[in-house]
Amino acid sequence: MPSLQSASNVKANGSPNGDRDLAKYGRGSAVWLKEHGGEDDGNGLIRSKQDRPLSRKINVSVAILAPYRLLIFFRIVVLGMYLAWRIKNRNEDAIWLWGMSVICEIWFTFSWLLEQLPKLSPVKRTAELAVLIDKFETVSPQNPLGRPDLPGIDVFITTADPDKEPPLVMANTVLSVLAADYPVENLACYLSDDAGSILTFETMAEVASFATVWVPFCRKHNIEPRGPESYFSLKKDPYRNKMRPDFVKDRRRMKREYDEFKVRINALLDTVRWRSDAYTAREESRALRRHRELYGDEPIERPKVPKAIWMADGSHWPGTWMNSSPHHTYSNHAAIVQVMLKSPSNESVQGKNEESRCLDLSGVDVRLPMLVYVAREKRPGYEDNEKAGAMNALVRASAVVSNGPFFLNLDYDNYVCNSRAFREGMCYMMDRGGERVCFVQFPRRFDGGDPSDGYAGYTNVVFEVNMRALDGIQGPVYLGSGCLFRRMALYGFDPPPPQERHGGCCRCCFPRKPKNPGGVDSDEERQDSRREDEKILSTYQKRFGNSASLIDSIPMAEFQRRPLADHPTVKDGRPWGALTTPHDPVTQSMVADAVSVIACSYEDKTQWGRRVGWIYGSVTEDIVTGYRMHNRGWRSVYCVTNGDAFRGTAVINLTDRLNQILRRATGFVEFFFSRNNPLFITPGMKILQRIAYLNLSTFPFTSLFVTVYCLLPVLCLFSGQFIVQTLSVTFLAYILILTVTRCILAILEIRWSGIQLVDWWRNEQWWVIGGTSACLAALFQGVLKVTTGVDVSSNGTKTSADGDESSEPHGLKWTWLMIPPITIMLVNLIAIAVGVSRTINSSSPEWSKLLGGLVFSVWVLIHLYPLAKGLMWSRSGGKTPTVVFIWSGLIAITISLLGVVLHTPSGDHRIGGSITFP
């Protein structure tokens, strides 16, 4: 293992005479601090620049939080009293109705507690970008050249199929990353093409060419956002706050360049086909010529040349071919690593007035970050583990090539909307005390979709309420995209002890110190050290694999991610200027090593996917991966930037939304039945954080009780009974108190989170819609998969980018997930008609029980309204599958007939304890 030099002897102020100066003036002296660049903190105290924090945590106002917590505990007490009263006062006329309702209400109380308790300590955080720039990128005695001293960031972008994920959308994401406001030499972008498609490869080649003019244009005029499609689609005035007189000319020319770029991207499919046909025709001509040289004009079968996919250099594409061929299919192709843009130098490169592109780039840094295309190897008989496997392949390949100590993962459609988002995330990672932060989760924001968010696809409540609340405990959960990771945390190392401010993760990452006072080890000690190093190497090989390059990169990544040794409390920090040295250029041996670590057999007999990297075995690999890090004692941070950090594509139709919920809920069921169950975790996780994960894992089970509870008003109206014996004052008082307290809690959450009332209400509606459809299906699918190993889930569900009718707003494609909620709506409408008709025609009507059933049923219909609205929107265009209504209608009629038959009148008496028709 390579040794690392300790930085513990570096002075906080970077001066060798720092201790002597402090002794002269006295430690903490305002005079000394002022002489050395300190500043007033507003309280009459002078603080040094090194002492200024990179981030601030702002607790929610006591005026909001105190009544919020008090109301939570008050509602818990009321719920306990209500349930005790319900259990004690049984409805003897309909004991079965009473029993079902009580069981459901007990579960709802338990579920509400799991969701509400982690919200007791919400916080807000802000990043201090000015302090970060002043500390890491400003000319100072420690950094006389002013070179960036920030650690490197590797950005991972994943794509799986160019037919479902448009290459132009992916190209915009890559361009926005290349144009991000972060030191160019410390930024690298990796694209994982899980399909091994030549369309994606050719798109990356076009991106590398277009980035040479787009990125300098962004820097020259400081435009936001830096994805070209989103920028040129802005509805606000693009000329506002622009000072340079050539901006109008540059923007017009750049728009023309981008239009030509889009034409080239959209024509790539035809270009590849024409090129491949031309190369194939050439090979056929050569084969025919050789055939004639050998056999003349004899009538022997002529050789056939397979239709291959050719690259521009005249070689076969090693990835997936358009026409299936052995070793060139989606699940059977070679590994590919191609460096599209090389790593830049540390020195700024000023541009020129390029007449070819008609842009004056004089005085603009034209360097570009490294851009690497990666397609991992796939072979039959080896499990690819979908996105988790692709991410782990990126982690290994990047460790060999650029080895950034931090990396950010993005989906193909999550472009960078705020170019300074990377810096804001680093504020939390590099802040003093931030060495225990394993990842920084950014909120997910979306473009397009329904402005009213009728399908709750923006998930504002999840991010602004749940994530802020978890940030006050141990940190938000990892939600798949827009997350800045610490490489060492994902490698499976434990965080440093909280009482020690150092950057190490494990003993092997620290330099070995001499044991004797003279500083020289004896022969016996050197032998012991050698044996210890061999033992560590063997452990690393079992955990990370046999790649020497990958293992050698671990100590360097650990060193680079350390905080600066700018304060006496920082132990084993890195010295000033350690990251300003030039990077080693990418060599052919590096690329060869990167290809070897993404081979399909590399993970055999290692801990990748079990302890190291993204965890395998669940469709929600993000939740499980974040859970594992929290379980080891790491914490996370929720970062809300000034302006949306990243924006993606919103869910725009009902089908996509239901399938999205189905996938997440299925993963939660697998999470619950796996060894990652929050009930069996280590003491490294805080109790409220455990409750939050338990809430996620048990969420799909609530669907059973939601479905039963939505059918209870039907049973009430058909039977003439209610869940209680009579609508007593006590029952109504409990219902009123619980409803009012729930509404007040919602208002307080809206105030401290900043969401809108419509967001909260839409979330409540989709809690019912998802519970009666996708979550219910996920529960059965997950239980079936866990118990029998049979996976009946559909992995081929198309998204809104597919280009069929389901990609239109409010469009629909057939899915049986719609049948249960539509059936519930229909039977509730039928039950209302039956209940009202029977009560009106009854000789002794019981209006109180009818009123209870009506209110109950209307409550259900109001929650299902967005589903009905989506169906009607689609129905007006004639695109709702008729089979949905046929099946739902048949099931609803069957349930209604059974309800009527079971309560058919016989004279004027009761049957089965129920009041029947007179």
Q: Of residues 514 and 102, which shows the higher confidence score?
A: 102
Q: Is 908 annotated as a binding residue?
A: no
Q: Are the CB atoms for 8 and 565 separated by under 8 Å? A: yes
The whole model's pTM is what?
0.86
pLDDT at 253: 92
Q: Is 165 annotated as a binding residue?
A: yes
pLDDT in tens, 822-851: 889 888 988 888 888 888 887 777 777 788
Return d(Cα 774, Cα 353) in angstroms, integer. 57
pLDDT in tens, 388-440: 999 999 999 999 999 999 999 999 999 999 999 999 999 999 988 888 999 99
Q: Are strands 370-375 and 483-486 parallel, antiparallel or unpaired?
A: unpaired
Q: Is residue 435, in this structure, part of any structural domain at all? A: yes
Return d(Cα 470, Cα 392) in angstroms, integer. 27
DSSP code for 485? E
Return d(Cα 387, Cα 394) in angstroms, integer. 11
Q: Is residue 394, in this structure, part of any structural domain at all? A: yes
Q: Are the CB atoms for 198 and 311 separated by under 8 Å? A: yes
Q: Is residue 610, in this structure, part of any structural domain at all? A: yes
Tokens of 620: 């929600």
Q: Is 194 annotated as a binding residue?
A: yes
Q: Is residue 780, in this structure, part of any structural domain at all? A: no
The mean per-residue pLDDT over the stretch 613-640 comes to: 92
What is the CA 780 to chain-centroid distance, rounded?
25
pLDDT tier, 873 (very low <50, low <70, confident <90, very high otherwise): low
Q: Is residue 841, in this structure, part of any structural domain at all? A: no
Looking at residue 389, which CATH number applies to its domain?
3.90.550.10
Q: Is 249 annotated as a binding residue?
A: no
Return d(Cα 687, Cα 157) in angstroms, integer. 34
Secondary structure of residue 644 in the 3-state scheme = coil
| Nearest one of 227, 243, 132 to 179, comparing CA atoms | 227
Q: Is residue 413, in this structure, part of any structural domain at all? A: yes
The mean per-residue pLDDT over the stretch 29-46 comes to: 39
| Nearest one of 563, 577, 574, 425 to 501, comparing CA atoms | 563
Q: Is residue 766, in this structure, part of any structural domain at all? A: no
| Nearest one of 220, 234, 227, 133 to 180, comparing CA atoms | 227
pLDDT in tens, 460-516: 888 899 999 999 999 999 988 999 999 999 999 999 886 544 444 444 443 344 444
The CA-atom distances, in angstroms, between 148 and each of 10, 167, 341, 362, 423 are 19, 33, 21, 22, 12
Return d(Cα 756, Cα 464) in angstroms, integer. 10
Total domains in the fold of the chain: 1
Structural domain range at position 475: 129-141+154-237+246-495+548-575+585-652
pLDDT at 522: 65
DSSP string covering 229-244: HHHHT--S-TTTT---
Q: Is 164 annotated as a binding residue?
A: yes
Q: Are the CB atoms for 439 and 623 separated by under 8 Å? A: no
Q: Is the pLDDT of residue 9 over 70?
A: no
pLDDT at 845: 73
Tokens of 51: 């002492």
DSSP code for 801? T
Return d(Cα 101, Cα 89) in angstroms, integer. 13
Identified catalytic residue from 193, 194, 413, 453? 194
Identified catalytic residue from 93, 193, 566, 622? 622
pLDDT tier, 370 (very low <50, low <70, confident <90, very high otherwise): very high
Q: Are the CB atoms for 918 and 841 separated by under 8 Å? A: yes
The mean per-residue pLDDT over the stretch 796-812 comes to: 45
Q: Are the CB atoms for 7 and 575 separated by under 8 Å? A: yes
pLDDT at 489: 95
Q: Are strands 336-341 and 370-375 parallel, antiparallel or unpaired?
A: antiparallel
Query: Which strand (E) or helix (H) includes residue 134?
Result: helix 129-136
Classify the phi-psi angles of 242: left when phi > 0, otherwise alpha if psi is within -120 to 50, otherwise beta. Answer: beta
Percent of the chain whose predicted confidence (pLDDT) is above 70: 82
pLDDT tier, 172 (very low <50, low <70, confident <90, very high otherwise): very high
Q: Is residue 737, in this structure, part of any structural domain at all? A: no
pLDDT at 900: 56
pLDDT at 317: 95
The mean of the pLDDT values for the chain is: 82
Count the alpha carbons within 13 Å of 243 in the hemisphere toward its beta carbon: 2
Q: Of residues 898 and 142, which shows the higher confidence score?
A: 142
Tokens of 193: 């093409």
What is the CA 401 to chain-centroid distance, rounded?
25
Is 622 considered catalytic here?
yes
Rounded to the nearest 10 degrees, the angle between the axes of helix 654-672 and helix 757-771 is 70
Classify the phi-psi angles of 861: left when phi > 0, otherwise alpha if psi is within -120 to 50, otherwise beta. Answer: alpha
